[in-house]
Amino acid sequence: MLATFFTIVGLTGAAHAYSFPDCVGGPLANTTVCDTTATATARAQALIAMFTTDELINNTVNMSPGVPRLGLPAYNWWSEALHGVAGSPGVSFAPAGQNFSFATSFPEPILMSAAFDDELIKEVATIISTEARAFNNAERAGLDYFTPNINPFRDPRWGRGQETPGEDPFRISQYVLNLIDGLQGGINPPLFKIAADCKHFAGYDIENWMGNERFSFNAIISTQDLSSFYLPPFQSCVRDARVGSVMCSYNAVNGIPSCADTYLLQTILRDHWGFDDNRWVTSDCDAIANFIDHKFSPDLPHAAASGIIAGTDVDCGTTYSNNLGAAVNMSLVKVSQIQAALTRQYASLTRLGYFDPPASQPYRQLSWADVNTPNAQKLAYTAAVEGITLLKNNGVLPLASSIKKLAFIGPWANATKQMQGNYQGTAPFLISPFAAAQTAGFTATLTAGTSINSNSTSGFAAAIAAAKVADTVIYAGGIDDSIEAEAMDRDTIVWPGNQLDLIAQLAALGKPLVVLQFGGGQVDDAALKSNPNVSAIMWGGYPSQSGGTAVMDIISGKVSPAGRLPTTQYPASYVDAVPMTDMSLRPSATNPGRTYKWYTGTPTYEFGTGLSYTTFSLALSGRPASSYNIQTLVKAGQAAGGPLDLAVFDTFQVAVSNKGKVASDYVVLGFVKTTAGPAPFPNKELVSYARVKGVGAGQSATASLKVTLGSIARVGDDGSASLYPGDYTLLLDVPTGVTHSFRLTGTQAQITQWPADPNAS
């Protein structure tokens, strides 16, 4: 019934070419909207005051027609750039061979997150926004991008987990802080480079599981889980990174559709986090119409009115434009409320320099010469190399110099476009693992053997024959967008089809066997982990344009791996233990617990797993404190200013020593565990991390792990965070290598106050 988001995201043709208002000789010249000395809000208010009611209503949708009589051009608010400028209704790629026929394609966020390298994320985002501006200057893209997806990867079956930075809210919060910094040209800069959009607010992580569709799903979430797990990434994005826009989600939260929920959109977003009137909220596409599916609105005029009143400023769809007129006539919504929504939109465009002279804007000078530069290509490769994660290695990797003949087998062996994942653009080139091996000088053969989800064994014989004459066998498989995708969750987390059967037959040959596992969501590697004839397992996510080169450079030993899993790899039985629709995190009689924090079982590979080609040792430098007084910590945090949860608790210096013979990066992960505060208690919680780079053989480096008060606080039933007296342990690395015990003394102190939900019974 609906022209949904997932069905049109792959389009490459824009509805119109972009242009800018004429503030020199056009109808808007000499009006306040063209006055660069006025505030963004004042300029937008002056513009909106010139609109008729019909013009207001017509421009409440993503494909805004503008106001021709005012010289205000049409504008599409929906462009995409999840991991590079991407095909979408607002982005138009030129035909092959022409300028703007491609854009740099970085790895999917799930793999970039595995690098645990915040500076990398900022650099990637800076290049993406530069290319986005260049596309805009060529009238091929907008200035507003529906990226990033920062919903925590709560359940391994979710079809869109590849779009996210993983399962840990602290990791996602740091990822998005640095990403928005790079996308928007700073933290709350006077002039936005582009306006990013944090999605999907809130509690969105089900596509279509067992008949439970995202368009009508009601996510029942406790205040404690909402505050501590589902919303911290959005707080980082809105309060700390000062993002330009937010997308409300399809689902309802505790009975109210997100795009109609004044608690989410007003109480939390605007009042609690300070989302001001230079910023706007868009619905997910056709989410306003879905109010009827939720049985929240009796008809579309009521749905449109509810969205506007709640604070959803832009309708990605046509429900607003087709029904707000009737809603006004029925006195369901006031014209002034529509004006407020449009003011937010155009205040944002004002901050993007939309009404300013081109000569005064550095971003208006960017061009095709700034797209896919040598530096961008290098960074796309680096992002893949840093994130690729080694899970198992019996010593076969890196390959010995005597290894010359490689048999590439599997449905990912010669992958190209497959490596991009979803929300992709047109890449300048795509290097498969097989092609990269050939370029590296190996004698390589290519045999599919099977496909991603096939039960046919017709290709097995050829694969076995190729393996028998090779020095080393490299099986490349896993899952891809045919298994995990928007609108499609998984029912199982086993390797699909007969891939494990083929791998078992290859392993029985006794040849060195390297398994490359691709895809965003994890599959259960238990059979491979326990098989002594499977020499190595490497996870590569969706590594994109230079992915094959990155994989081969690690296999050959040109680079040592240092990525860490950003999600838990559960045993296959996990899906039988808890339904996707159970949004709770903590273990119970019907839930084994979710994510590494709460899972009570034994994972196949735990969050943070990642091997290296060398041996590192860690040691805490100096004499870390063994006791901290809560009242002293709070007083110091208050004196420093800013949100108390961001105040520094302590900074731990960690000596990282390379005891082996290979230079390598190393990711230091810091966790805290405690039995202080409300029960149940998490297994541990990530509180800090750092990636030290290029530690030479026999050399040492220092990692600084800054820990905030918010990271060691515990969240109670009411969603507020407090520091609790008791015993705590700092845990370094996965598996834990170094520990440090400390105690918080004094009395319990609340450091955040979570706003109460007026809708709660």
| CA torsion, ordered 404, 409, 414, 420, to nearest 10 deg | -120
- Helices (H) then strands (E): counts for the chain: 22, 27
10 Å Cβ neighbour count for 116?
29
- Residue 65 CA to residue 75 CA, distance in Å, equals 6
Beta pairing partners, 655: 619, 702
Q: How does DSSP classify residue 755?
A: P
* CB burial of residue 322 (10 Å; 0-12, 13-18, 19+): middle
Do residues 735 and 749 touch, judged by C-beta distance below 8 A?
no
- Residue 335 CA to residue 562 CA, distance in Å, equals 56
Task: Please report, for residues 91, 103, 123, 374, 427, the alpha-carbon distance to residue 100 in angstroms, rounded to integers and kept in the order given.
Answer: 10, 7, 21, 16, 11
Do residues 388 and 540 touch, judged by C-beta distance below 8 A?
yes
Cα–Cα nearest to 522, from 252, 167, 231, 171: 167
Provide the 3-class DSSP secondary structure of residue 685.
strand
10 Å Cβ neighbour count for 152?
27
Cα–Cα nearest to 158, from 622, 637, 483: 483
SS (H, E, C) 611-661: ECCCCEEEEECCCCCCEEEHHHHHHHHHHHCCCHHHCEEEEEEEEEEECCC
10 Å Cβ neighbour count for 245?
24
Do residues 711 and 195 touch, judged by C-beta distance below 8 A?
no
Cα–Cα nearest to 70, from 58, 82, 78: 58
- Residue 36 CA to residue 319 CA, distance in Å, equals 34
Q: Please give the distance of CA 726 from its chain centroid, rounded to a whole number.
A: 35
Do residues 409 and 372 touch, judged by C-beta distance below 8 A?
no
Edge-first strand listing for the sheet containing 252-253: 218-219, 252-253, 256-257
Look at the chain and count its residues: 761
Asked if 284 is an active-site residue, the reply is yes
Which pair of tokens denotes residue 693? Answer: 């780079």
Alpha helices per DSSP H over 330-402: 335-351, 374-387
Which listed residue (205, 240, 284, 489) is catalytic?
A: 284
Do residues 291 and 305 touch, judged by C-beta distance below 8 A?
no
Q: Are strands 536-541 and 513-518 parallel, antiparallel or unpaired?
A: parallel
Do residues 599 and 593 touch, judged by C-beta distance below 8 A?
yes
- Residue 390 CA to residue 400 CA, distance in Å, equals 17
Question: 343: Cβ–Cβ under 8 A, 6 or more apart, which residues?
Answer: 41, 44, 45, 48, 277
Cα–Cα nearest to 749, from 655, 658, 631: 631
In the block, residue with structure tokens 């991407």:
86
Do residues 470 and 511 touch, judged by C-beta distance below 8 A?
yes
Do residues 609 and 734 touch, judged by C-beta distance below 8 A?
yes
Provide the 3-class DSSP secondary structure of residue 406.
strand
What radius of gyration, in Å, describes the C-alpha atoms of the chain?
Answer: 26
Cite the active site residues.
Answer: 284
